[in-house]
């Protein structure tokens, strides 16, 4: 049975992780309506290989907080359902993967559009790994 959860350990939460993600070499993929930034990291002592994600919806693009939160929920759900696309690569490389989904459209897209963008991005990351 597949595990579809998105636990706390799979989310980028600390300032240190965000800073780590944006300094140094960062890779990006455009998959409209998302821009996906990602970085492979070496594991610390006693750490397990895992993909950590963060979703960002800029206030500049989507003004209403309710709509920004809706987009974040849809993006997290699309990732949660399709994360097995990259879990094999993470275990194979024995590294940590940090991913940021940045919403770039000025209008709210439906779940299917966001899901297709997430799947495309995850497939590209898996193929480039």
pLDDT above 70 coverage of the chain, percent: 98
Specify if 14 maps to a domain. yes
Number of domains comprising the chain: 1
Averaged pLDDT of the chain: 92
CA-CA-CA-CA torsion sign (41, 59, 62, 10): positive
Comparison of pLDDT for 3 and 83, the residue scoring more:
83
pLDDT grade for 2, boundaries at 50, 70 and 90: low
Query: pTM of the prediction?
Result: 0.93
Q: Is residue 123 part of a domain?
A: yes
Residue 78 lies in a domain: yes
pLDDT bracket for residue 125 (50, 70, 90): very high
CATH code where residue 97 lies = 3.30.230.10
Residue 106 reports pLDDT greater than 90: yes
Flag whether 4 is in a domain: no
| Residue 88 belongs to domain spanning | 9-128
Gap between the Cα atoms of 117 and 106, Å rounded: 16
């Amino acid at each position: 049975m597949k595990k579809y959860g998105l636990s706390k350990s799979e989310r980028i939460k600390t300032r240190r992780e965000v800073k780590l993600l944006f300094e140094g070499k960062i890779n990006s993929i455009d998959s409209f309506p998302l821009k996906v930034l990602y970085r492979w990291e070496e594991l610390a002592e006693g750490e397990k290989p895992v993909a950590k994600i963060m979703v960002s919806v800029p206030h500049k693009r989507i003004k209403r907080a309710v709509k920004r939160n809706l987009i974040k929920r849809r993006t997290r759900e699309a990732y949660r359902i399709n994360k097995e696309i990259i879990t094999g690569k993470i275990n194979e490389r024995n590294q940590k993967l940090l991913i940021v989904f940045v919403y770039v459209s000025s209008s709210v897209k439906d779940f299917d559009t966001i899901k297709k963008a997430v799947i495309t991005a995850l497939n590209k990351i898996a193929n480039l790994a």
